[in-house]
Amino acid sequence: MDNSPATIFIVDDDPDVCRALARLLRSAGYLTRVFRSSLEFLAGHDPEPPGCIILDMTMPQYDGLEVQAMLHSAGCLHPIIFLTANGNIPRTVAAIRAGAVNFLTKPFEEKLLFEAVEEALRINAAQRQSSMLCRAITERLATLTPRERQVLEHVVRGRLNKQIAADLGTVEKTIKVHRGRVMQKMGARSLAELVQLAGSVGVVGERFARPVQLRDPPDTEARDRLARCAQPEP
């Protein structure tokens, strides 16, 4: 995982709000970057380091919801905390449905701001870990030969070795060899684990429960299994 410190990106066209937020967050030990327009933010935002975004809902050029949509389209993992000068319920609902983690109405209590920031950073850490594990599994998947990939796809659909052999025009003994190599390369210790790992990167079986959704933080057991796959093979 990236151990660089988290950055709080502040985006508001009101310079007084920017100064006050930056001063308050820095006093609590957070790193901050301030942008005074949506265009400035979109041009200078770095999505790579861990962090979250405090985003004003109403700004010239692009409003908060438009910026949120652009970040989502670009695959940005930074959670968003929206700020607004008035509690517009329809816009609040739209923002939350689009993935915002919190919505604060100005003026707000310092305690609520810090709680929102901590929640956003926890979400970002879980999302980044899931993304990293997904990449690791995808890299493992890429090491399979075309035949091993075919065998994997049949296995996660619940096909027996003899059925796979018949489908692929070979013998059951050969399928067993391929299947063993697939298990080793994918880092799976059981069929259920193989199905879950394959499902997490889009290879989904019909007979098993839905795959891990890596956009959400995985549970502890799933995270431990997936983490093994991020380790290099001996």
Write the DSSP assignment of 104-165 as a string of letters: EESS--HHHHHHHHHHHHHHHHHHHHHHHHHHHHHHHHHTS-HHHHHHHHHHHTT--HHHHH
Question: pTM of the full predicted structure?
Answer: 0.67
Alpha-carbon distance 50 to 79, whole Å? 10
Six token digits for residue 10: 């502040």
pLDDT mean values, one per 10 residues, the chain (234 residues): 80 93 94 95 91 92 90 90 75 69 86 94 91 88 93 92 94 94 92 88 56 40 45 44
Pair 187, 229: CB distance under 8 Å: yes
Q: What does the pLDDT read at residue 106?
A: 83
- How far apart, in whole angstroms, are the C-alpha atoms of residue 161 and residue 23? 64
CA atoms of 160 and 56, how far apart (whole Å)? 56
pLDDT of residue 183: 93
pLDDT at 222: 43
Which residue segments constitute the domains of the chain, with CATH numbers given? Answer: 7-128 (3.40.50.2300), 143-230 (1.10.10.10)
What tokens appear for 179 in the block?
């299947």
pLDDT for position 71: 92
Please count the residues of the chain: 234
Work out whether the CA dihedral 63, 66, 71, 72 comes out positive or negative. positive
Element containing residue 31 per DSSP (H, E): strand 31-35
Which tokens is 139 given? Answer: 């890299």
User: Which pLDDT does position 200 carry in this prediction?
Assistant: 81
Q: 208-234: buried (b, 16+ CB within 10 Å) or exposed (e) per residue?
A: beebbebeebbeeebeebbeebbeeee
